[in-house]
């Protein structure tokens, strides 16, 4: 269709010149490090001298799956990620719907209010939750002021605190991915369902839900991945005894300097996340081809 006469040779050269720097950069600074990390995960480790020994062994992976401490860290991580992802969907849907159907000039401000928490960093948000959950924090002080409790309740350093924190971290991603899908659904489809006498719940179940399904699954996958890899929130709100995978990896590397095991845990986390994501992706494809 192009009116410009294509000169294949020259264009090919231009294309490579444009793309090559970025591609080479990614290959060097993403694949090379991941390759080395994977190679290290097959090495052995001598705890007495804290040194890595060149080897070709799966002993690190076996260690992970035979030690209940690490298995429970993985299970906690998956559980927290699942709860967070589902909660994000339930909490995020109404806000995404209102946002998608909004016509007012305040819409950009609302978007900024949703994206701002995303950008201020997880530590800052964890600080906010610490003020709310602390021993003399807002929740405890309010409940005591109302006479509902007489002794402060422990919220900080519990799984609840971590889940509440992670949901808040992941909600913007869910809202934005739902919003973009709902915006693409013609309002007339909803009106049609209503004018045919469908109650709101039926309209939601039979019209909105199936049409928004790609966004729903996309948002759930995204929030699940983010929760699986959360570092700052479990570290700050979960305290020293609460174990999720990302803090475990950091700990193995920096505190115990056990690189082979840390590397193995990193790959286990990535493999578990990717395979669960892949399963969800297959589900989407099957739905959309039907």
Partner 1 sequence: MTTRRLALNAAATVTLLYLLTPLIFVTWLAFFRQEIPSFPPEGYSLHWFAAIFDEPKFVSGFTLSFQVGALATAIGLLLGVPAALCVTRFQFKMRAPLASLLLLPLIVPGVVLGTAMYVFHVNLENTLDVDVLGTFYALVAGHVVIVMPWVVRLVTTSLAGVDRTTEEAAQNLGATAWVTFWRITLPAIRPGIVAGALFGFVTSFGNLELSLFLVAPGHTTLPIVILQYLEWKIDPTIAAVSVVQILLIAIAMLITDRYVKLARIV
Of 8 and 290, nearer to partner 1 (C-beta) is 8
Angstrom distance (rounded) from CA 114 to CA 94 = 13
Of 95 and 213, nearer to partner 1 (C-beta) is 95
Tokens 């971290």, located at residue: 169
Give me the least distance between CB of 212 and partner 1, in Å please: 15
Give me the least distance between CB of 214 and partner 1, in Å please: 18
Give me the least distance between CB of 72 and partner 1, in Å please: 19
Of 72 and 257, nearer to partner 1 (C-beta) is 257
Question: What are the Cα distances from residue 212, in Å, to 87, 204, 206, 218?
Answer: 17, 10, 11, 10
Angstrom distance (rounded) from CA 210 to CA 187 = 14
What does 129-155 look like in DSSP terms, one character per residue? HHHHHSTTSHHHHHHHHTTS-SS----
Among residues 276, 267, 274, the alpha carbon closest in space to that of 33 is found at 267
Give me the least distance between CB of 197 and partner 1, in Å please: 14
Of 105 and 290, nearer to partner 1 (C-beta) is 105
Tokens 């809202």, located at residue: 175
Of 30 and 149, nearer to partner 1 (C-beta) is 30
Angstrom distance (rounded) from CA 62 to CA 50 = 19
Of 103 and 290, nearer to partner 1 (C-beta) is 103
Give me the least distance between CB of 60 and partner 1, in Å please: 13
Of 265 and 290, nearer to partner 1 (C-beta) is 265
Angstrom distance (rounded) from CA 179 to CA 108 = 13
Q: 10: which DSSP letter?
A: H
What does 263-290 look like in DSSP terms, one character per residue? HHHHHHHHHHHHHHHHHHHHHHHHHHH-
Give me the least distance between CB of 24 and partner 1, in Å please: 9
**Residues present in the chain in total:** 290
Question: What are the Cα distances from residue 89, in Å, to 178, 195, 231, 233, 254?
Answer: 9, 28, 21, 20, 35
Give me the least distance between CB of 49 and partner 1, in Å please: 17
Give me the least distance between CB of 289 and partner 1, in Å please: 19
Of 84 and 290, nearer to partner 1 (C-beta) is 84
Query: What residue spans of 2-42 are helical by DSSP H?
Result: 8-26, 32-41
């Amino acid at each position: 269709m192009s009116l410009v006469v294509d000169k294949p040779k020259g264009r090919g050269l231009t294309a490579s010149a444009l793309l090559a720097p970025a591609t080479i950069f990614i290959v060097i600074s993403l694949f090379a490090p991941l390759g080395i990390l994977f190679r290290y995960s097959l090495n052995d480790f001598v705890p007495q001298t804290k040194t890595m020994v060149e080897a070709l062994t799966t002993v690190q992976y076996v260690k992970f799956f035979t030690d209940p401490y690490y298995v429970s860290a993985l299970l906690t991580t998956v559980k927290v990620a699942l709860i967070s992802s589902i909660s994000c969907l339930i909490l995020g849907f109404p806000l995404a719907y209102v946002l998608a159907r909004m016509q007012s000039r305040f819409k950009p401000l609302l978007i900024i209010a949703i994206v701002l928490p995303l950008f201020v960093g997880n530590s800052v948000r964890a600080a906010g939750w610490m003020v709310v959950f602390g021993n003399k924090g807002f929740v405890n002080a309010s409940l005591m002021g109302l006479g509902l409790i007489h002794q402060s309740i422990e919220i900080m350093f519990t799984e609840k605190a971590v889940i509440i924190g992670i949901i808040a971290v992941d909600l913007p991603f869910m809202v934005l991915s739902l919003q973009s899908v709902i915006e693409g659904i013609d309002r007339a489809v909803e009106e049609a369902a209503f004018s045919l006498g469908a109650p709101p719940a039926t309209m939601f179940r039979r019209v909105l839900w199936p049409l928004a399904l790609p966004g729903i699954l996309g948002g759930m996958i995204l929030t699940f991945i983010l929760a699986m890899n959360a570092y700052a929130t479990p570290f700050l709100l979960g305290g020293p005894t609460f174990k999720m995978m990302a803090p475990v990896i950091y700990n193995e590397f920096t505190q115990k300097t056990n690189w082979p095991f840390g590397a193995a845990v990193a790959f286990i986390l990535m493999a578990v996340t990717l395979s669960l994501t892949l399963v969800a992706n297959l589900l989407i494809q099957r739905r959309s081809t039907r």
